Structure 1
Amino acid sequence: MKDRDLCSYQELHKPKGQFATRSEYLEHELEIMAPKRWGINLPFRDYRFEYEDWVPAMAATIGKIVMVAAIVSTFAAPLGLSDDFVIENVRFEMLIAALLFVVLFSGFLNPTSNLAGTHGPLIPLIPLIVASGGHPMALGIMVGVLGFTLGVFKGGSLLARLTSDGVCGGLLLYLGFIGVTSQIKVLFEWANGFDMGYIAFVVVFATIVMYAYLEHIRLRWLAIPLGCVLAAVISFALGAPFEFETEPGIPNLNPAYWWGEDTGWQLGLPGLHHFVAVFPFAVLAVAMWSPDFLGHRIFQQLNYPHKAQKVLMNIDDTMCVAAARQVVGTALGGGNLASSWGTFLVPAAIAKRPIPAGAMLTGLLCVIAALWGYPMDLAIWPPVLSVALLVGVFLPLLEAGMQMTREGKTSQSAAIVVFSSALVNPVFGWSLTVLLDNMGLVGDKAHSQSLSRLHRWIIPLLVFVVLCGVMLGIGMFPGIPALFESFRLAQ
């Protein structure tokens, strides 16, 4: 009899009718897949499409429109650029992501590299980057170069191995809680803007009941499409204002237009001083990748069967793809800052689906949204957007964090992560707690004792010192002014 490990996906595939439940069929699909790393992976030969793949695809498309719009508009405001510029650049970015990277890499060449998404945590720093003399192209290229270096030398997976379950769980809890509270705040600010604050309450309350019921009947993967429809219907019915404004069309595809002195960004090409100005921010952006990427992989592990190791996200490959996508997208004229695509991978893990099929559908939806135009208006409508993020990303992160911190030893590390993240930010909280946890001061002592001296304190201490130096330089510590003169003047 042929060894199971030597059998192809097609040989191991079984019809749905041979399984007692849908969940068993999906788990079997995850267990028999063996994606080729940097090879050719073809639909139906190496993986199949299931209707569950539409869930992460829809969530990813909504999240992409919103997050890229947030980054580009945050750049555009201090530069004095119009809303029309923002919409045009977002549509261009979606085409770049879909045609050059989502389908090519995650769909065909390396299905264990997650889609290259958007670096949301860096958004609050963008006004400071611009005020400090930063240039979008200089920042994008610097982030890409540093990220590719970290990925090639497997720095991402190394940092992931040094991060215990307690630290991971605490990070997920913090990110989930902050995300939930921020989206509820956004909803109420939106509804209060036209004196109908009760709409936000009704939408959130209905979402809670829907989510709890879906958990009860074990159909949580339907939370995003049903939640978005529910939020839109309730908001329409209660009289919330909405209209379609973005018309169909093709964005300008000429890089010379985007990086012209009088067109596009109206900045021209960057000089050496622009790269110097953005360097600390680029270091911080890439440092944020490790906890972000790690959280996404951990979420897969919690939702996939134990035997599905071959389809788990490869952190280093994802870093390389995200870095390549960053450099190419920036050079072409886009304003996106890349990271692991959380609004895709979290729903995909919940739906028990691997990366490639959902990636292909995501690419299709991104192209449709970019060219059609009208779906972009609906996706960024506050009730639809906030509910999609709540049920698709932040609530699942909270659940995963709680699941990882059930034991007393892991809860110690988790508490320190939350405490220190609240003091500064998740990068500080993660790097400090990894150092304390690996030295055996908090958390599981067995984890510390299993590490070599290099991994126990030398690498964690070096990472913590470098990150603290960067954050001190750009003024991210509360109550402490920026050390670099240019940043003090900017503030």
Structure 2
Amino acid sequence: MQEKSYAELHRPSSAFESRSDYLEHELQIMQPKRWKANLPFRDYRFEWEDMIPAFAATIGKVVMVGAVAAAFAGPLGLPESFVLENVRYELLIVSLFILLLSGFFLPTANLPGTHGPLIPLIPIIVAAGGHPLALGLLIGVFGFLLGILKGGSLLARLTSNGVCGGLLLYLGFIGITGQVQRLFAWAGGFDMAYIAFVVIIGTILLYALLEHWQKRWLAVPLGCVLAGGTAYLLGAPFSFSTAPGLPPMSPAYWWGENSGWMLGWPGLNEFVAVFPFAVLAVAMWSPDFLGHQVFQKLSYPPKTEKVQMNIDDTMIGCSARQVAGSVLGGANFTSSWGTYIVPAAIAKRPIPAGAVLTALFCIIAGVWGYPMDLAIWQPVLSVALIVGVYVPLLEAGMEMTRSGKTTQSAAIVVFSSALVNPVFGWSLTVMLDNLGLIGCKERSAGLGSMGRWIIPLIGFVVLCAVMAAVGMFPGIPAVLEQFRQ
């Protein structure tokens, strides 16, 4: 007997006792198809809740791509206009990819976002003689190989709840404190630091009320409106300055020797210089992707495995977007799109519907220009990231460490991440956890030799070698620099 289609199983929201029941039923009846057309209304529907992750994702994209472009522009001596035009260009590039991949052909692949942890390394990459196109191409190739070989899902299986929960706790706490500090620094810049305090207190009260009313999926739009409105009424300066327009659309312009990046095309030396950074960037994907997938699993109801984020498909989608975006001239280095998937999971919405709206919002923001000014205004930006990403990550981390022998692993991953970075913390704790030195001994015994020590040990050694090469261990000079001298 043939299984009924999504269209046949769909029922109107009026047939359910609550809105939450309707949304959960939608997730349970969806039947996403890999590498086949998934069409709106035939395979999924648009709901008002899809506006929330799309709105949050667009804000996050403008901010994060701007940060990447600015991190390159400083060391390379590029003008401020380069940053603005490249952000607009990237918004148009990413809109095409999320429409084709997450919206239609890979509905369980999360959107390809921006690789935030790589941003602090960009000045080091430039100083080492790295070329952004060479780095982007190598990230794409390595990520594609990992996705094809299903390495991402393998690493996810080898990561226990304690390790993943500790990682989420660390990322959530660091993210919140970072945004609070940025908000106070912004308000202190014009001697009105109290604005930051009022905005944060208002955000806390709003989030608590939404939690009480079980409307937490509204936290991003209402939080942004509250933060922006409060800051403006209290006297914070703001003005629209980015006029409508289109960026240069030719790769020849962006990779010209006297235009765009002003670097020309990369040679062999540039590829060699960025090799360790590309390995590290793709290694950072696994804990990032795993955290997003786990958060989705915690937020979705039972019997929704078919619509949950597939780590390997997400890696393939991110890799394809990375290669194409770099060749076209974009500044973005991609990873799983956290500012999209976390609010989408909270709102109990599948990936493809919000992906289509995100593409539309990115096009509007890039062409219109003015929404970019609002999205990067500090109170709007900080509150969107806090309530849309970092607080939910904290909640998910605490949920994952509530039962079983998880607290030891969670504590070690937080401790070791604070020492170096989340990649080091994740790889070290996975090795200790799977060896049975911490965490659940019964789980360790059932992994077999490959999962218990061979893969974790090799992964930890390789990642440590790469991090040592680029100078990521505190107090230890970069090995590559020693060889150059």
TM-score interval w.r.t. the shorter chain?
A: over 0.9
* Deviation by residue 1:207-243 (Cα, 9 ceiling, x = unmatched): 0000011000100000000000000100100000011
* Deviation by residue 1:20-48 (Cα, 9 ceiling, x = unmatched): 01000000000000100111100000000
Shift of 1:487: 8.0
User: Separation in 2 of the partners of 1:487 and 1:48?
Assistant: 57
Residue 15 of structure 1 corresponds to which residue in structure 2?
Answer: 12
Residue 443 of structure 2 corresponds to which residue in structure 1?
Answer: 447
* Deviation by residue 1:293-329 (Cα, 9 ceiling, x = unmatched): 0000000000001110100001001001100100000
Secondary structure, aligned partner of 2:406: helix
Shift in alpha-carbon separation, 1:134–1:229, aligned structure 2, 3 A: same
Is 1:469 the counterpart of 2:451? The answer is: no
2:72 partner amino acid? F
Cα RMSD, aligned residues only: 0.9
Shift of 1:407: 2.7
Q: Give the TM-score normalised by the residue count of structure 2.
A: 0.99
Contact 1:106–1:356 (CA<8 Å) still a contact in 2? yes
Contact 1:475–1:487 (CA<8 Å) still a contact in 2? no
Is 1:151 the counterpart of 2:150? The answer is: no
Residue 277 of structure 2 corresponds to which residue in structure 1?
Answer: 281
2:455 partner amino acid? I
Residue 407 of structure 1 corresponds to which residue in structure 2?
Answer: 403
1:128-277 pair list within 5 angstroms = 128-277=124-273
Residue 327 of structure 1 corresponds to which residue in structure 2?
Answer: 323
Is 1:93 the counterpart of 2:95? The answer is: no
* Deviation by residue 1:105-148 (Cα, 9 ceiling, x = unmatched): 11110100010000001000000000010011011001111111
Shift of 1:408: 5.5
Residue 55 of structure 1 corresponds to which residue in structure 2?
Answer: 52
1:36-51 pair list within 5 angstroms = 36-51=33-48
User: Separation in 2 of the partners of 1:487 and 1:9?
Assistant: 60
1:459 partner amino acid? I
Q: Give the TM-score normalised by the residue count of structure 1.
A: 0.98
Residue 428 of structure 2 corresponds to which residue in structure 1?
Answer: 432
User: Separation in 2 of the partners of 1:294 and 1:7?
Assistant: 31
2:190 partner amino acid? F
Shift of 1:446: 1.6
User: Separation in 1 of the partners of 2:350 and 2:202?
Assistant: 30
User: Separation in 2 of the partners of 1:303 and 1:372?
Assistant: 34
Residue 120 of structure 2 corresponds to which residue in structure 1?
Answer: 124
2:282 partner amino acid? V
User: Separation in 2 of the partners of 1:12 and 1:268?
Assistant: 55
Residue 378 of structure 1 corresponds to which residue in structure 2?
Answer: 374
Is 1:81 the counterpart of 2:78? The answer is: yes
Residue 295 of structure 2 corresponds to which residue in structure 1?
Answer: 299
Secondary structure, aligned partner of 1:409: coil
Shift of 1:486: 6.3
User: Separation in 2 of the partners of 1:245 and 1:447?
Assistant: 57
User: Separation in 2 of the partners of 1:102 and 1:154?
Assistant: 21
* Deviation by residue 1:140-177 (Cα, 9 ceiling, x = unmatched): 00111111111110000000000000000000000000
Contact 1:132–1:487 (CA<8 Å) still a contact in 2? no
1:14 partner amino acid? R
Shift of 1:64: 0.2
Matched residues, number: 485
Secondary structure, aligned partner of 1:484: helix
Is 1:66 the counterpart of 2:63? The answer is: yes
Shift of 1:485: 2.7
User: Separation in 2 of the partners of 1:392 and 1:82?
Assistant: 32
Could you tell me which runs of 5 or more consecutive residues in structure 1 were left unpaired when the two chains were aligned: none
Shift of 1:16: 0.8
Residue 25 of structure 1 corresponds to which residue in structure 2?
Answer: 22
Q: Percent identity between the aligned chains?
A: 70
